[in-house]
Chain A
Amino acid sequence: MKLLLKGGTIIDPTQNYNQVADLLIENGLVSKIGENLSTTGVEVFDAQGLVIAPGFVDMHVHLREPGLEAKEDIASGTKAAAAGGFTTIACMPNTKPVVDQAIIVSGILHRAQLEGVVNVKVIGALSKGQQGKELAEIGDMILSGAVAISDDGSSLDNNRLFKIGLEYTSMFGCPVISHAEDESLVDEGVMHEGAVSAMLGMKGRPSVAEDIAVARDIMLAQYTDSRLHIAHVSSKGAVELIRQAKKRGVKVTAEATPHHLTLTDEAVKTFNTAAKVNPPLRSADHVAALLEGLKDGTLDAIATDHAPHAFEEKDIEFRQAPPGFAGLETALGVILTDLYHTGKFTLVEIVEKMSTAPASILNIEAGSLKAGAPADIAIIDTELEWTVDSSAFYTKGKHTPFDKKILKGKAVATIVSGKFVMRKGKVCI
């Protein structure tokens, strides 16, 4: 019942802790952190040279269950999470049927208890069937465990409904998460509108479509005094709008994805459907603005927007391919390689963005190693070099723009409620 993680560098932003020490787990909870803790009567895990962090929290995952199990299910998606160092994931409601009723929230939570490898939180839909016409039973879903409300997958263009959704959800203290892209402006666009789309002849999703939607969202959040979270920010205009809104005291938070932080629209130059995503991978000036926003706190969290699809669904012409790709198993490696090893971000900042901040936004018990907290832990080898091999992924989504890339840094063990769910890259349950 006791597990001692010995000699690792323990990083916990909630305690400003960042030093080599031992961490004792008792009865599934963090018991204490200290130097030279007694090893008698406990299972010892040698963590020398490794980093021990609160398990990562991904607030933007598509688990695809119910109804879209060819793409992913709770079992495969939570295994992928464990492999990537995530101990809690929140799943988006654009399933079949849409998660727009309490019974579906309960059903997913129940399934996750039975088959899930990591903790699963549920995000309920804002509108019935995500049709953008009338409110879903938001209160009922929140009382049954939903942690946030969102019509993610597409933008909610109806201003009045978005306003009502914010007002109603705010009664329960939960955030509304917005996929912000003005539909009439993205039209039939399949990639970022820029020099690359101009010469590929493909229709663009202009960055201004995101800017306008984010501006609208912020104005309504300010007017209704409600909590708003902007998902997968990808445009520099959106970063600036959020920055200004935060200065005005608007209750807005935001996330960025590993792919938007590290890749540009050059990735789709070969018509690689594995790089097709909404909002799209943009040009280098946008990427620079995202990194700046992440650094100065405008962007609070890193979330993967893990959006797996069946192989054959992505194995078609670019224009027809569905947007999105797997992200859980590459996120940490990509972030460590491009943000940590380049000296742009510290490990403390990264743990904050990938664990503490998203837990705080969703107001869930996670993201901390304080005594008494659930022992949900990621153990990381920051120096481990590995090559992304999508065919070996736990997720059913085998497409990723990072395939075959050499990354530096990886979770080598994941602990949920005091038990190892992943060791040396292998999920163990």
Chain B
Amino acid sequence: MSKRQISLRGKDILGLEMMTVPEIEVILETACQMKGIIDRDIKKVPTLRGKSIVNLFFEASTRTRTSFELAGKYLGADVVNITASASSVTKGESLRDTLYTVEAMGVDVIVMRHEAEGAAQYAANVASPVIINAGDGAHEHPTQGLLDMFTMKEVKGKLDGLKVAIVGDIFHSRVARSNIWGLLKMGAEVHLAGPKTLMPYYIQEVGVHVHNRVEEALEGADVVNVLRIQRERQHKGLFPSAREYARIFGINQARLDLAKPDALIMHPGPMNRGLEISPDVAYGDQSVIQEQVKNGLAIRMAALFLVLTGGKNIETTA
């Protein structure tokens, strides 16, 4: 274990905007050790035995929720899933009251996904358990940002100086925002491309490069992070058709060849193959999309471990 004086014990993880570089580093380092546990035959360690974690999901999710659930269970914690459709939210209960109810059951960590930006911040303000933001609207998805950076660092050996292109629907993407904050903090260069109708105005003010043409963003990139395009954006008229999107912004091998020869292809999932990414690229040699899923588990184990223990020996009980 690192001997640095950074402790995340009891701290909420709401977004990468609010995290310091040393805090990000300690999570990335801890995730490295966690990854070793995932590959074991017997994956259970007793570190978080006696701790309880609630996955409070107000929005549909498979991979993130499963990832947090397994992360908690591999570390020996009790994990319960609450989904909005099955809870009292449908009866009109306020977020405050839902949080109070969960809190009253003695929960140690609430992992929360919610459709509204700022919902995690709200939860942190009103509830005493540690809050881990698993996505609040289009705001942030910090563990996704962390797992993306972990994946980049694992292959490239560093983040500082990397040129990262993020392509697609930036406007509606919490993944993009967490990546932007995290990558800028770690010294990477961030280039954004996508339809102007899906690009937030003024985002260049935070220090990213915005391109009208996806080719410009890809040129010489070390990493290409492709975002999911949601069909309902087309229905709202923000781009004319799926085929036009695929033609102008879809990442295919020809476009990928503009990036460095060893550039990584990433995607937070779930993918629309043939729309934002072509199948050959998604499953090609440069793709680390499967590895991202595995790393996501390691990052969530690290996050849960650090907020609950502050970072003591992984192999012993809390």
Q: Write the residues of chain A forming the contact surface with B, with a CB cutoff of 8 angstroms.
A: 193-195, 197-202, 204, 206, 270-271, 312, 315-320
Q: Is the CB of A271 within 8 A of B206?
A: no
- Complexed CA–CA distance, A38 and B203 (Å): 67
Considering only residues 159-181 of chain B, those with a C-beta below 8 Å from chain A are 171-174, 177, 180-181
Name the contact of A201 in the complex, choosing from B114, B121, B139 (C-beta under 8 A): B139
Name the contact of A195 in the complex, choosing from B119, B171, B172, B206 (C-beta under 8 A): B206
- Complexed CA–CA distance, A193 and B17 (Å): 19
Q: Is the CB of B203 within 8 A of A317?
A: no
Q: Which residue of B lies closest to A187 (CB)?
A: B236
- Complexed CA–CA distance, A312 and B92 (Å): 13
B149 to chain A, nearest CB (A): 18
A245 to chain B, nearest CB (A): 27
Contacts of A201 in B (CB 8 A): 117, 137-140, 171-174, 177, 200
Q: Is the CB of A198 within 8 A of B202?
A: yes
Q: Is the CB of B95 within 8 A of A316?
A: yes
If the complex has contacts A204-B201, A312-B94, A316-B94, are A198 and B118 also in contact, measured as CB distance less than 8 A? no
Q: Mark B194-216, 1 if CB is under 8 A from A, else 0.
A: 00000011110110000000000
The answer, yes or no, to whether B248 is at the interface (CB within 8 Å) is no
If the complex has contacts A201-B138, A201-B140, are A195 and B205 also in contact, measured as CB distance less than 8 A? yes
B92 to chain A, nearest CB (A): 12
Name the contact of A199 in the complex, choosing from B96, B118, B172, B177 (C-beta under 8 A): B177
Contacts of B119 in A (CB 8 A): 317
Q: Is the CB of B116 within 8 A of A200?
A: no
Q: Which residue of B lies closest to A190 (CB)?
A: B117
Identify whether the interface residues of A are mostly helix, strand, loop, or mixed. loop
Q: List 27 A-B contacts (CB under 8 A).
A: A193-B201, A195-B205, A197-B200, A198-B203, A198-B205, A199-B17, A199-B180, A199-B200, A199-B203, A199-B206, A200-B139, A201-B137, A201-B174, A202-B138, A202-B139, A270-B118, A270-B121, A271-B122, A312-B94, A315-B96, A316-B95, A317-B116, A317-B118, A317-B122, A319-B115, A319-B116, A320-B116
Contacts of A270 in B (CB 8 A): 118, 121
Q: Is the CB of A194 within 8 A of B201?
A: yes
Contacts of A194 in B (CB 8 A): 201-202
- Complexed CA–CA distance, A270 and B174 (Å): 16
Contacts of B139 in A (CB 8 A): 200-202
- Complexed CA–CA distance, A204 and B117 (Å): 13
Q: Is the CB of A198 within 8 A of B206?
A: yes
A299 to chain B, nearest CB (A): 25
Contacts of B171 in A (CB 8 A): 201
Q: What range describes how many residues of B lie at the interface?
A: 20 to 34
Q: Is the CB of A200 within 8 A of B118?
A: yes
Q: Is the CB of B17 within 8 A of A202?
A: no
Q: Is the CB of B117 within 8 A of A202?
A: yes
Q: Is the CB of B203 within 8 A of A318?
A: no
Name the contact of B202 in the complex, choosing from A195, A312, A316, A320 (C-beta under 8 A): A195
Q: Mark B103-116, 1 if CB is under 8 A from A, else 0.
A: 00000000000111
Q: Is the CB of B118 within 8 A of A271?
A: yes
Contacts of B172 in A (CB 8 A): 201
Contacts of B138 in A (CB 8 A): 201-202
10 nearest CB pairs, A to B:
A271-B118, A201-B138, A317-B116, A198-B200, A195-B205, A201-B139, A198-B203, A195-B202, A319-B116, A318-B118
Q: Which residue of A lies closest to B199 (CB)?
A: A198
Q: Is the CB of A317 within 8 A of B140?
A: no
B171 to chain A, nearest CB (A): 8
Contacts of A319 in B (CB 8 A): 115-118, 137
Q: Which residue of A lies closest to B119 (CB)?
A: A317
- Complexed CA–CA distance, A97 and B113 (Å): 38
Considering only residues 10-53 of chain B, those with a C-beta below 8 Å from chain A are 17
Contacts of B202 in A (CB 8 A): 193-195, 197-198
Q: Is the CB of B96 within 8 A of A318?
A: no
B253 to chain A, nearest CB (A): 32
- Complexed CA–CA distance, A315 and B97 (Å): 11
Contacts of B200 in A (CB 8 A): 197-199, 201, 204
Chain A CB count within 10 A is highest, among B115, B122, B140, for B122
Contacts of A198 in B (CB 8 A): 200-203, 205-206
Name the contact of A271 in the complex, choosing from B121, B201, B205 (C-beta under 8 A): B121
Q: Which residue of B lies closest to A188 (CB)?
A: B236
Q: Is the CB of B94 within 8 A of A315?
A: yes
Contacts of A199 in B (CB 8 A): 17, 177, 180-181, 200, 203, 206
Additional A-B contact list (18), CB under 8 Å, known A193-B202, A201-B138, A201-B173? A193-B201, A195-B205, A198-B201, A199-B177, A199-B206, A201-B139, A201-B140, A201-B177, A202-B137, A202-B138, A312-B94, A315-B96, A316-B95, A317-B116, A317-B119, A317-B122, A318-B122, A319-B115
- Complexed CA–CA distance, A312 and B181 (Å): 33
